[in-house]
Amino acid sequence: MENTDSDTTFSGEQRASTDTAQGPGDPLRPAVPEDSVARDALAEEAPAGGEESAEEEAGDAALRGDVDELMDMAAQRDEYLALAQRTQADFENYRKRVARDAAAAQQRGVVKVARELLPALDSLDRALEAASEEDPLLEGVRLVRAELASALARVGIESFSPNGERFDPAEHEAMAQQPVDGADSGTVVEVYQSGYRLGENIIRPARVLVAA
C-alpha cells in the first residue's frame, strides 16, 4: 500500500510540471521558438519591400529616359546652331566676295575709260604749250582741259609728276638717261609726260629723264 501511494503522488507532480511548461490555458500546444517567430515576421514584410523597390526602379528608369531625351535635344540644338553659324559665315564670305568683285569690276571700267581719255588730255596739253597768249581759243582749251581733269579726279584718278624724285620703275618710264650737273644719279630731272594712277593702280607711268 505504501508503494502505491508514492507512485500516485509522483505521477501527479509530473503532470503539474508538464502543465507549467506548456503554459496556462493551452495544455496541448507545444512551445514555439522565438527565432521562428522572427522569421515569420520578416517573411510577412518581404512583399512590401519588394514592391517599394520595383517602384523606385521604375522611377529611376523614367528619370534616365527624361535625361537621355534632354541630352538628345541639346545635341540636336547644338547641331542646328553650328549649321546656322556656318551658313551665316558662308553668307558673309559670299557678300564680301561679291562686294570685292563689284569694286574690282568698277575699277576696271574706270581705268578703261581713263585710258581712252588720257590721249585727249595729252593733246590739249600740247596745244596749250604751242598756243600763244594772244590766241582767242586759248582760254577755251584751258577750260576743256580743266573739265576733263576734274572728271577724272571725281572718280579717283589723279596725275603725278615725279620731278626730283628717285626713279621708280614701278611708277616711272625712263625715256632717257644722261649726266646732269647738280643731280644725283638715279634722280628724275625732267618729266616729259605726267603719269596717272587710281589708288595704288598705275594707269600710266610718268615718262621721265633720269640723271646718270
pLDDT digits (tens, 9 = 90+) for 25-72: 444 444 444 555 445 544 455 444 455 677 777 777 778 878 888 888
Owning domain of residue 208:
158-212
Residue 104 covered by a domain: no
In angstroms, the Cα distances linking 49 to 55, 57, 91, 186 are: 10, 12, 63, 105
Q: What percent of the chain has pLDDT over 90?
A: 53
Q: Answer yes or no: is pLDDT of 19 > 70.
A: no
User: In the chain, how many domains are there?
Assistant: 1
Q: Which of 4-18, 74-88, 145-159, 193-207 has the lowest mean pLDDT?
A: 4-18
Bridge-based pairing of strands 188-193 and 206-211 is antiparallel
CATH code assigned at 206: 2.30.22.10
Strands of the sheet with 188-193, listed across from one edge: 172-178, 206-211, 188-193
Find the mean pLDDT for residues 78-102. 93
Instruction: Give domain status of residue 185, yes or no.
Output: yes
Per-residue b/e over 127-145, b at no fewer than 16 CB within 10 Å? beeeeeeeeeeeeebeeeb
Say what the pLDDT of residue 165 is: 95
pLDDT recorded at residue 131: 86
d(C-alpha 32, C-alpha 23), whole Å: 12
Is 164 inside any structural domain? yes
Residue 188 maps to a domain: yes
Q: Which has more pLDDT, 6 or 62?
A: 62
152, 130 Cβ separation under 8 angstroms: no
